[in-house]
Amino acid sequence: MSIKLETANPVRSFKGRGTELVADGLVRGGQRAVVCASAGNLGQALAWSARGRELDVTVVASRFAPAVKLERIRALGARLELVDGDHELARQRAAELAAGEGVRLLEDSLDLETCEGAATIGLELVESGVAFDVVLVALGGGAMATGIGQVLKELAPGVEVICVQPEGAPAMTRSWRERRVVTTDSAVTIADGVAGRFPIAEVLDDLLVVADDAVLVQEESIITGLRMLLHDAGLVVEPSGALGVAAMLENRDRFAGRHVVTVVCGGNVDMDSYYRWIGSS
């Protein structure tokens, strides 16, 4: 197994790859403001990319998002508005705000820059020159899976692209399996970064083209994955970043003898929660 590490950067997730494109494009287009909903990582990355670019960032997030993510969004200078609900409510509120203020709404996974940013992960994998058979990608809204998948299907079509989602937040995986948008009433998982309920139809269309499979994993496997990444790789990772390892743990036969790459996509985690997970049996 190889790790594609996306946490060793100032925002500790892969999201900066897309927000750099977004911020650059906005400034070139003479825009001064942008609004996004965020589970926590996109908001940080957008705030980071806006620094030094004279771009005002408003992030709408669930008040249940990890404190460390909310603190970092504020610390990076963005305006943060919290909603008393989950990420889907934050998406609604962000859309209202952007419409009311007449500024760009950045929609993760729907807006191409977010997928193009993630696609550069795929490019780096291909350009590494290392042969691999499978890539495991965390599945939330779908930006990472469609971005990486698009590149691999083009440049390394023999590589199996497998999306991984928690059993407690399976909306996009169910949608992929049924080839139509399936929503869920709730999303219950420690993997807050991928806890969506309302898949976007256009993103599903792309995912149906580029993903070879979508699997669900249990919370316990995610926790074991967190522990393995800490003890064997020395990495503090957020639950979404351990989804690929969880999938390997649950599907050992499927991956035996194959070179599997797992994208460790984020490392923003409340340390008190983290220690509780790591310490649990």
Q: Are 125 and 205 in contact (CB under 8 A)?
A: no
Work out how close the CB of 153 gets to a second copy at its nearest, in angstroms, rounded to a whole number: 27
Give the binding site for a second copy (CB under 8 A). 3, 5, 7-8, 12, 230-231, 234-237, 267, 269, 271
Work out how close the CB of 192 gets to a second copy at its nearest, in angstroms, rounded to a whole number: 16
Dmax of the chain from CA atoms? 54
Q: Are 232 and 189 in contact (CB under 8 A)?
A: no
Work out how close the CB of 261 gets to a second copy at its nearest, in angstroms, rounded to a whole number: 14
Check residue 280 and report its DSSP letter: -
Work out how close the CB of 238 gets to a second copy at its nearest, in angstroms, rounded to a whole number: 9
When the beta carbons of 232 and 253 are compared against a second copy, the nearer one is: 232
When the beta carbons of 184 and 273 are compared against a second copy, the nearer one is: 273
With left for phi above 0 and alpha for psi between -120 and 50, is residue 81 left, alpha or beta? Answer: beta
Work out how close the CB of 233 gets to a second copy at its nearest, in angstroms, rounded to a whole number: 8
Work out how close the CB of 177 gets to a second copy at its nearest, in angstroms, rounded to a whole number: 33
| Cβ atoms within 10 Å, residue 103 | 17
How far is the C-alpha of 138 from the C-alpha of 229, rounded, in Å?
A: 15
When the beta carbons of 196 and 239 are compared against a second copy, the nearer one is: 239
Work out how close the CB of 70 gets to a second copy at its nearest, in angstroms, rounded to a whole number: 16
- Alpha carbons within 13 A on the beta-carbon side of 130: 15
When the beta carbons of 5 and 181 are compared against a second copy, the nearer one is: 5
Residue linked to tokens 């291909």: 126
How far is the C-alpha of 62 from the C-alpha of 210, rounded, in Å?
A: 30
When the beta carbons of 34 and 73 are compared against a second copy, the nearer one is: 73
Q: Which two tokens stand for residue 83?
A: 């909603």
How far is the C-alpha of 199 from the C-alpha of 172, rounded, in Å?
A: 6
Instruction: Give the angle subtended at the CA of 118 by the CAs of 20 and 45, to the nearest 5°.
Output: 40
When the beta carbons of 60 and 269 are compared against a second copy, the nearer one is: 269
Q: What is the end-to-end Cα distance of the chain in Å, rounded?
A: 24
When the beta carbons of 8 and 131 are compared against a second copy, the nearer one is: 8
